[in-house]
């Protein structure tokens, strides 16, 4: 994989702006779930950086579980809605206050399928916290309780989000210049 600087169009959200917003979300969540037992469900792999930083800003007792989803038959950059659970929750969420933590919502197909699946287990509540929202791309409605940033319809990477699995570890959100990026395959 080549250096990301070859196709970085711009830094859309800086490290500092990410952390400031995550602190605000953490405070809001701490207030809203006060007195309740909060269960964060991190959607792997993209949601992992956001989940970890968010947990540091949530000052009420909470636990975290992980779920991994892949969109079957998808091109590298689009959801098909044919969503497969590749790592399922290891606990029963009945009567739990569940907050799903996602990196980005694009078509909404991935999350809609996760919500449908988890609802069947009768949690006490089920809400969504996404770092990024590409609202213009939405195909199915998903109820969002917490949203870090609204972004335009651009392909972004860093801070959990990948380009062909690379660059998740960058501390900022960057925009890919698709004229300059050559997919590996």
| Residues present in the chain in total | 185
Does 79 help bind ligand IMP (rule: CB under 6 A)?
A: yes
Does 104 help bind ligand IMP (rule: CB under 6 A)?
A: yes
**CA-to-CA distance for 165 and 1, rounded, in angstroms?**
10
Q: Interaction with ligand IMP in 110-149: which residues (CB under 6 A)? A: 110-111
Of 82, 106, 141, 162, the active-site residue reads 106
- Residue 183 Cβ vs ligand IMP, minimum distance, rounded to whole Å: 13
**CA-to-CA distance for 15 and 63, rounded, in angstroms?**
25
Among residues 176, 177, 173, the alpha carbon closest in space to that of 14 is found at 173
**CA-to-CA distance for 116 and 96, rounded, in angstroms?**
16
Position among 54, 98, 109, 129 found at the interface with ligand IMP (CB under 6 A): 109
Tokens 């999350």 -> residue: 111
Position among 106, 129, 133, 158 found at the interface with ligand IMP (CB under 6 A): 106
- Taking CB under 6 A as the binding criterion, the range among 29-37, 59-67, 120-128, 157-165 that sits at the site for ligand IMP is 157-165
Q: What b/e string do you get for 89-124 counting C-beta neighbours within 10 Å, with b at 16 or more?
A: beeebeebbbbbbbbbbbbbbbbbbbbeebeeeebe
Position among 33, 40, 66, 108 found at the interface with ligand IMP (CB under 6 A): 108
Cis peptide before 15 (omega within 30 of 0): no
Position among 18, 25, 161, 170 found at the interface with ligand IMP (CB under 6 A): 161
Phi, psi of 161 (to 5 degrees): -85, 140
Nearest residue by C-beta to Mg ion?
46
Position among 38, 39, 42, 46 found at the interface with Mg ion (CB under 5 A): 46
Q: Interaction with ligand IMP in 10-49: which residues (CB under 6 A)? A: 46
Does 32 participate in catalysis according to the annotation? no
- Please give the residue ranges that form the binding site for ligand IMP (CB under 6 A): 46, 79, 102-111, 155-157, 161-162
Instruction: Tell me which residues are annotated as active site.
Output: 106
């Amino acid at each position: 994989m080549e250096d990301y600087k070859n196709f970085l169009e711009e830094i859309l959200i800086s490290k500092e702006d990410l952390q400031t917003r995550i602190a605000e979300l953490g405070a809001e969540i701490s207030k809203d779930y006060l007195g309740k037992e909060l269960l964060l469900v991190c959607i792997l792999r993209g949601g992992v950086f956001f989940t970890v930083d968010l947990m540091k800003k949530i000052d009420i007792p909470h636990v975290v579980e992980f779920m991994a989803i892949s969109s079957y038959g998808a091109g590298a950059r689009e959801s098909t809605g044919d969503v497969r659970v590749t790592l399922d929750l290891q606990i029963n969420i009945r009567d739990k206050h569940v907050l799903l933590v996602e990196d980005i919502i694009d078509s909404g197909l991935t999350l809609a399928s996760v919500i449908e699946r988890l609802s069947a287990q009768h949690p006490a509540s089920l809400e969504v916290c996404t770092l990024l929202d590409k609202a213009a791309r939405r195909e199915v409605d998903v109820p969002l309780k917490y949203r870090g940033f609204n972004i335009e319809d651009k392909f972004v990477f860093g801070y959990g989000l990948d380009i062909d699995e690379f660059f998740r570890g960058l501390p900022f959100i960057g925009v890919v210049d698709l004229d300059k990026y050559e997919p590996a395959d």
